[in-house]
Chain A
Amino acid sequence: MKERLSREVIALRAAREFPDGAVVNLGGGIPSLAANFVPEGRRVIFHAENGVLGFGPIPSRESEEKDHMLGANGAPFIALPGMCFFHHADSFGMIRGGHIDITVLGALQVSEEGDLANWTFPKRGLGNIGGGMDLAFGCRKVIATMQHTSPEGEPKILKKCTYPLTAPRCVSLVVTDIAVIEVSEAGLVLKEVAPGWTEGDVQALTEPKLIIDKNMKEIEL
């Protein structure tokens, strides 16, 4: 069995996509870990949909936690210079209005056209749309992070999503525990593979045909 990347490493790889000065919203789960891996020297302004921009990391001491300083995932944050608060209509105006550069969202399924399904699956019967739909429609770049296959080993990168969609044609980059895949007009382009994995290994666990990038390389850890 080849080794797959941990959740932290998936988040670390996604965080490399944040350019200096970017405004970034992180979804729950793996995406939320990306806050810890902003490449050195880059200033990233984090947005949380419950109404805060420019907040800092989780406080190191419990005594510094404040009940009015919690992000959308419920985790406390510390104040940073330049931080600001606002209400929900403004917060989602920022999202739909194209003022958020990048969102990183967890995914249950991604299609070869970049369709995203991440809010429910048929067995559950209902689910939580939350802010994910607005983020997927509104942010300038959507990065999906996920395990490459389901717990049963089935592909989650599919020709067509079978679960209810969050948004069609929104994902531009998929970072999984075995590969980095770009969504292009021509199809899915395999850009990077996890150490020890080959393009054939990744293709075998991916439903649509992958285009192998001519500069395909191993993910640098």
Chain B
Amino acid sequence: MPRTYNYYGMEVLSEMGIPTIYKSPEEAVADIPDGASVMIGGFGHAVDKPQALLKALANRSVKNLTIISNSAGAAGALGIGSLGGKPFIDEEVLIKNGLVRKAVCSVPASLVISKPNAFERLYREGKIELEYVPQGTLAERIRAGGAGLGGFYTPTGVGTLIEEGKETRVIGGRKMVFEAALKADYALIRAYKADTRGNLIFRGIMRAFNAIMPQAVKTAIVEVEEMVEAGELDPEVIVTPGIFVDRIVRIPGREG
């Protein structure tokens, strides 16, 4: 993928300011190549996962993806985080279909020990890589990536396996560990409503990682429940400014 840089030598992380509206999730993810890094939004509940985009991507024959997400498919199959305990699509669909080489996440394993997920099975066979990141560190690494920072020092993880191999320093009398910013090629995001400029609003708990990932990637792909003309969303309540969003696809009704 060609890389472009600004005057300061920083990688330019976005397509142009006006998003493209796609007719289907399949078209919206059609160009994600082998070896791409893909952030996946949400916390891990049915309403916050980009289920249509995940399904579309899982049906492609792409290999060696690195996924950056809170979870590597820990709850969807169990129906934890949906009304009535109904199973829903999460990252596990990508892992099951063999698209993923590495997961960068805080919750790789199934939430129920006796019901292992696809990630655990592959991990125990040595067929998939894992980078553990505490959830708050993951959020901040993504935020830093989108904000043009190199990283930050955090107390989280000092004296645990998270510290291993990382630079540390004492700040204000407290030992802290350096965590590098995270960026990626793509993000798959779920929002409630978008306008034609890409401005996003959410409902309830949907913001989670969805509201911080579009900033940190070159191509942010968003599935929304509703699409409106620019000017129809109140500028006072927009959560994600439209320039971070590159592709929008409206999904018919809600899945999960």
Contact = CB atoms under 8 A, between A and B. Distances in A.
Interface string B197-234: 00000111111111110000000000000000000000
Interface stretch (B54-62, B94-102, B153-161, B242-250): B153-161
Contact of B107 (A51, A70, A93, A130): A130
A192 to B, nearest CB: 29
Interface stretch (B17-25, B26-34, B40-48): B40-48
A30 B210 CA distance: 29
Contacts of A127: 109
Contacts of A70: 45, 47, 81, 204-205
B43 A133 contact: no
Interface residues of B, number: 58
B46 A87 contact: no
Contact of B139 (A65, A92, A132): A92
Interface residues of A, number: 43
Nearest to B254: A67
Interface residues of B, dominant DSSP = loop
B109 A126 contact: yes
Contact of A131 (B45, B134, B143, B209): B134
A130 B135 CA distance: 5
A91 B207 CA distance: 10
Contact of A68 (B120, B142, B203): B203
Contacts of A43: none
B74 A128 contact: yes
A18 interface: no
Interface string B124-154: 1000001011111111101100000000001
A43 B211 CA distance: 30
A51 B113 CA distance: 26
Interface of A: 48-52, 62, 65-70, 72, 74, 76, 85-89, 91-93, 95-96, 124-134, 137-138, 164-168
Interface of B: 43-48, 70, 74-75, 80-84, 106-109, 111, 113, 120, 123-124, 130, 132-140, 142-143, 154-162, 202-212, 239, 254, 256
